[in-house]
Amino acid sequence: MENAGRHMAEKISERVSLDQHITIVIGGGNNGGDGFVIARCLKEKGYQHHACQLVPDQKIKGDALYHKQVYEQFGGMIERVETLDQLKEKCASSDVVVDAVLGIGITGTIREPLRRMIEVINEAEAVVFSVDIPSGLPANENEVVDMSVNADYTFVVEAPKQSAFVEGLAPYYGEWEVVSIGIPLAAFSDQKQMRWQHMDVQRTFPKRTSFSHKGSHGKGAVVGGQLSMPGSVALTARAALRSGAGLLTVATVKDNIPVVANQCVEAMYHVWRDDQGILIDDSVSSLNHYDAIAIGMGMGRADESQKLTLRIVNEINRPVIVDADGLYHIKSDLEVVRARLAPLVITPHLGEMAMLTETTIAEIKQAPFSITKQFAQKYQVYVVLKGKFTIITTPRGEQVVTDTGNPGLAKGGSGDVLSGVILAFMMQHNERLPAIANACYLHGLTADMSITSGRHTETDLLASDVIDELSVAFRTIV
């Protein structure tokens, strides 16, 4: 509590000047305890502040009581705020409100008078900094907001909670950052998701050596494309080559080859359907010679495509990434997926995940972590649930989140590019989770950097621009 409060006071002082007035609103649990530490640290720094206790004295116990007493011993004054009018007056005379009323220990609907007090905080013009979580907001997904502080900024203790990544709940946090208090992540319950960050990419990204040759970076294959959609496989292939694939073969229908080859001269080509549209048998078995295979992009939903997808999932003992139309094909026989032993990565967006799990998009938005975890564990697959936050789940149920990317990626072709980056990274990395998480992180970072650099806007950014800009993001980690 001392560490948490001290770090948060430090963060507050980076954003608030000494002539601004701060009110710290304090509740009865350990979240309130953090509030007493913050009040003492801000006092030490010379801030004009009011520490307002919103609950009766008997509610302050344990560590929180200890820190209340320490604050008082330092000459701090605690004001007991009981009425809404008293709270309104305090908020009106403050530039900043520090919200230490309720943390992750809430149960049930928010009781009075705190409920109306939260409304008062939200009506105030002051900037609101929430301690750990906006007061009243559920920490986990799949819960509804009864009454919550609408924070401008939240200092999350040690690890973000699920609600920070759930569409309907995330906005209450405002901007947020993690305040580390030196507790290992493993000590947290699994409701606290791990955000995959830049330092994780730097830590896990494989190094290329000067003795590298094309074979040592893996041979990959991209299987997909039908006559009306040659672009998808080309995007996946180019993204894979730009992401370090040593050798890449595109298996597509015959008439596509000249079109795709024109866009991707570095790849090799293979026909998977003959002139009558019939699957060529040895095109499946030959895939066992590759280090990883991506399938489904621009593939169409014809029977032959379905047959090919299911045969690859069933017969190929190399890592396989299934995207786009391939996801519809595996849905037709998920038992083949469950029976498969080699790694399978699926990369659905919300609609595809709803289709796979026979739920609705609204249900997935409400409980993305538990729905994907259930599916990943049941079918023993890696799931990349794409969205504003991308949730990556392993067959064992471990989950990480990447939060790079922007609306510029919400366009046709982005998924094809991501599949190509995942394919290439899986060819170069022995561990699956870092390979996939690094791909998602860097794909999003590329889109972000294309916009912050001023070279593109969210409106004009194309999937092929992201391929061309990958080097900018890669340069930040090598």
Ligand X SMILES: NC(=O)C1=CN([C@@H]2O[C@H](COP(=O)(O)OP(=O)(O)OC[C@H]3O[C@@H](n4cnc5c(N)ncnc54)[C@H](OP(=O)(O)O)[C@@H]3O)[C@@H](O)[C@H]2O)[C@@H](O)CC1
Q: Which residues are annotated as a binding site for (6S)-NADPHX?
A: 298, 349, 416
For residue 104, state whether it binds ligand X (rule: CB under 6 A). yes
For residue 107, state whether it binds ligand X (rule: CB under 6 A). yes
Residue 65: CB partners within 8 Å, gap ≥ 6?
none
Task: Choose among ligand X, K ion, none what residue 106 binds, the Cβ cut-off being 5 to 8 Å by kind.
Answer: ligand X
For residue 131, state whether it binds ligand X (rule: CB under 6 A). yes
Nearer to K ion, 103 or 296 (CB): 103
Q: Binding ligand X by CB under 6 A: which of 99, 132, 291, 416?
A: 132
For residue 323, state whether it binds ligand X (rule: CB under 6 A). no
**DSSP structure string for 10-67:** HHHHHHS-TTSEEEEEE-SSHHHHHHHHHHHHHHHTT-EEEEEE-S-GGG--HHHHHH
Q: Binding ligand X by CB under 6 A: which of 8, 12, 33, 127?
A: 33
Nearer to K ion, 26 or 354 (CB): 26
Nearer to ligand X, 19 or 112 (CB): 112
For residue 325, state whether it binds ligand X (rule: CB under 6 A). no
Burial-class residue 282 by CB neighbours within 10 Å (0-12, 13-18, 19+). Answer: exposed
For residue 111, state whether it binds ligand X (rule: CB under 6 A). yes
For residue 29, state whether it binds ligand X (rule: CB under 6 A). yes
As a three-state string, the secondary structure of 418-430 is: HHHHHHHHHHHCC
Nearer to K ion, 29 or 225 (CB): 29
The residue with tokens 């609600």 is 163
Nearer to K ion, 61 or 455 (CB): 61
CA 225 to chain centre: 29
With CB under 6 A, what is the number of residues at the site for ligand X? 28
The two three-digit tokens of residue 298, written as one number = 């621009």
For residue 87, state whether it binds ligand X (rule: CB under 6 A). no
Q: Binding K ion by CB under 5 A: which of 53, 130, 252, 402?
A: 130
Task: Choose among ligand X, K ion, none what residue 111 binds, the Cβ cut-off being 5 to 8 Å by kind.
Answer: ligand X
Site for ligand X in 151-180 (CB under 6 A): 157
Task: Choose among ligand X, K ion, none what residue 104 binds, the Cβ cut-off being 5 to 8 Å by kind.
Answer: ligand X
Instruction: Tell me which H or E stretch contains 399.
Output: strand 399-402
Residue 451: CB partners within 8 Å, gap ≥ 6?
406, 408, 457, 458, 461
Task: Choose among ligand X, K ion, none what residue 108 binds, the Cβ cut-off being 5 to 8 Å by kind.
Answer: ligand X
Nearer to ligand X, 3 or 314 (CB): 3
Burial-class residue 377 by CB neighbours within 10 Å (0-12, 13-18, 19+). Answer: middle
Task: Choose among K ion, ligand X, none what residue 130 binds, the Cβ cut-off being 5 to 8 Å by kind.
Answer: K ion
Taking the C-alpha atoms of residue 379 and residue 393, their distance in angstroms, rounded to an integer, is 12
Q: Binding K ion by CB under 5 A: which of 55, 131, 253, 417?
A: 131
Q: Binding ligand X by CB under 6 A: which of 7, 9, 34, 371?
A: 34
Taking the C-alpha atoms of residue 101 and residue 372, their distance in angstroms, rounded to an integer, is 33
For residue 30, state whether it binds ligand X (rule: CB under 6 A). yes
Beta strands in 33-187 (DSSP E): 48-53, 78-80, 96-100, 127-131, 153-157, 175-179
Contact 235, 415 (CB under 8 A): no
Nearer to ligand X, 131 or 170 (CB): 131
For residue 106, state whether it binds ligand X (rule: CB under 6 A). yes
Amino acid, single-letter form, for residue 391: I
For residue 1, state whether it binds ligand X (rule: CB under 6 A). yes
Site for K ion in 65-124 (CB under 5 A): 99
Taking the C-alpha atoms of residue 344 and residue 364, their distance in angstroms, rounded to an integer, is 21
Number of Cβ within a 10 Å radius of residue 19: 8
Contact residues toward K ion (CB under 5 A) are: 31, 99, 130-131, 135
Contact residues toward ligand X (CB under 6 A) are: 1, 4, 27-34, 59, 102-111, 114, 131-133, 157, 181, 183
